[in-house]
Amino acid sequence: MSKARLATIWLDGCSGCHMSFLDMDEHLVTLSEQADLVYSPYVDTKEFPKNVDITLVEGAIGNTEDLEKVRKVRANTRILVSLGDCAVTGNVSSMRNTFGVERVLKHAYEETATLNAQIPKIDIPLLLERARPIHEFVTVDVFVPGCPPDAPTIAYCLDELLAGRTPDMNKYTRFGK
């Protein structure tokens, strides 16, 4: 059987879920026998490829670039996994939501800056009014809550998906774990 095509992507999150992925340690070797990592912060592919079997998406949708990326992921992925609380609930990324973009930017780049205080505007994506979970924009197939989901949780999820089964994530993880 040919290897599955696996991808991971990091949107509005802290990369903690990707760190947790690396924490799978020797299980990564087992995974590499069953799947090729075709796109990820771990590899150097620039463009999201076509015909991906499984994509793990970390992070909420916080800016216009996140939104473009997640739509591209959805269009080219068979099974989209919402990985971690930011992707699933908005989590810490969504804590800015009650204040509004203008106030958040002003506070971060002007009020608390000590040198050359200014709000960056060139060559960066615009923040959306609110950071929101992925499934509010695209269809998600599997939800893996946790902050971050631990390595055994990610391993179980991927093993089940690679075996063609639907993982029951509630046994392994919950919001905030």
Partner 1 sequence: MNPGVRVKTFKIDGLDVAGREDQTVLDVATEHGIPIPTMCHLEGLTSVGACRLCLVEVVGRSRLLPACVTPVEEGMAVVTNSERLQNYRRMLLEMLFVEGNHICAVCVSNGHCELQGLAQTLGVTHVHFPYHYPDRPVDASHSRFVVDHDRCVMCTRCVRVCNEVEGAHTWDVMGNGANVRVVTDLNEAWGRSETCTGCGKCVHVCPTGALFEKGHSVAEMLKKRQFLPYLTAMRRRQ
Positions touching partner 1 (CB under 8 A) are 82, 85, 88-92, 94-95, 97-98, 130, 132-133, 135-136, 140, 143-145, 147, 169-170, 174-177
Which C-beta is closer to partner 1: that of 2 or that of 98?
98
When the beta carbons of 38 and 88 are compared against partner 1, the nearer one is 88
**Residue 146 CB, nearest approach to partner 1 (Å):** 9
d(CA 70, CA 73): 5
Q: Least distance from C-beta 177 to partner 1, angstroms?
A: 8
Q: How far is CA 121 from CA 74, 124, 125, 132, in A?
A: 28, 6, 8, 22
CB closer to partner 1, 5 vs 96: 96
> Which phi and psi angles does 54 have, rounded to 5°?
-135, 130
Nearest-approach distance from CB 91 to partner 1, in angstroms: 6
Tell me the closest approach of the beta carbon of residue 92 to partner 1, in angstroms: 6
**H or E, element range at 142:** strand 142-144
> How far is it between the farthest Cα atoms of the chain?
58
Query: 154, 24 in Cβ contact below 8 A?
Result: yes
